[in-house]
Amino acid sequence: MAVFEKLPRHVAIIMDGNGRWAKKHKMKVAMGHRQGTETLRSIIRESSDLGIEALSLYAFSTENWKREAQEVEALMGLILEFFSSEIDELDEKNVCIRILGDKEGLPEKQRRALYEAEERTAANTGLKLNIAINYGGRAEIVRAAQQLAQKAAAGEIRPEEITEEMMARELYTRDLPDVDLMIRTSGEMRLSNFLLYQCAYAEFMFPAVLWPDFDLDAYHEALQAFGNRERRFGGR
């Protein structure tokens, strides 16, 4: 078991490179996502074993609907498969599952599986596993602003008294710590609308490896590098 001096409380991952991995292996893109799901399983397990507090994974963005119908279908299928095959083990490991994003915009079967997973694991006190599905960071912030505006209109709060913490409490991640470490695989260096508010002071890492090839050694390397970085949060 790897030992780390200083672990991030909250790790977020943009699992990029499934398509390129499939192309490299002369396979259909769906096979890249399938292989990527294997990586996701092992990273979740390892995060839980290491005692990381929160792990947020970007599985499907609001922009991903623009992909070919076949690919969207494959991803939706994998999401369903993942929840039915993993839920027992995750529950046993005391993992608490939360979906970030708009579940109402998903097909019925997926929506039901996600609600069930959240309900079943709601009282678990281990790893807080957040899976972003039909998620967009700006939409999340707009939704939070709307909720605060509604409270103000109802006379429950005063607009000039709104704080950063109040805003954070209206986000999908309401009670979670800010992101400490954001990893995007495949060498792309963009945030792509993921956890915009929560990443204000995050450390960013962009390993060149494609997501299906992101193994535990690569994960440990990122965690080790995080421990070596000096974080000042705007101070000296």
Closer to ligand FPP by CB, 59 or 183: give it. 59
Angle at 47 between CA 41 and CA 49, to 5 degrees: 100
Q: Does the footprint of ligand FPP cover residue 170 (CB under 6 A)?
A: no
Alpha-carbon span 177 to 118, nearest angstrom: 19
Closer to ligand FPP by CB, 121 or 186: give it. 186
H helix or E strand, kind and range, residue 9: none
Q: Does the footprint of ligand FPP cover residue 16 (CB under 6 A)?
A: yes
For residue 80, how many other CB atoms are within 10 A of its CB? 16
Number of shown-chain residues binding ligand FPP (CB under 6 A): 18
Whether 64 is catalytic is yes
Beta bridge partners of 13: 57, 183
Per-residue x/- track, 110-149, ligand FPP (CB under 6 A): ---------------------x------------------
* CA dihedral of residues 188, 191, 194, 195 (deg, nearest 10): 140
Which residue's structure tokens are 């807080």? Answer: 128
Q: Does the footprint of ligand FPP cover residue 179 (CB under 6 A)?
A: no
Residues 36-95 that bind ligand FPP (CB under 6 A): 36-37, 40, 59, 64, 75, 78-79, 82
In the DSSP assignment, the letter for residue 127 is -
Q: Which residue in 16, 18, 130, 180 is the catalytic one?
A: 16
Which residue's structure tokens are 């992909």? Answer: 67
Phi then psi for residue 95, to 5 deg, are: -80, 135
Report, in Å, the least distance between residue 217 CB and ligand FPP. 19
Q: Which residue in 18, 49, 64, 94 is the catalytic one?
A: 64
Write out the catalytic residue numbers: 16, 64
Binding interface with ligand FPP (CB under 6 A):
15-20, 33, 36-37, 40, 59, 64, 75, 78-79, 82, 131, 186
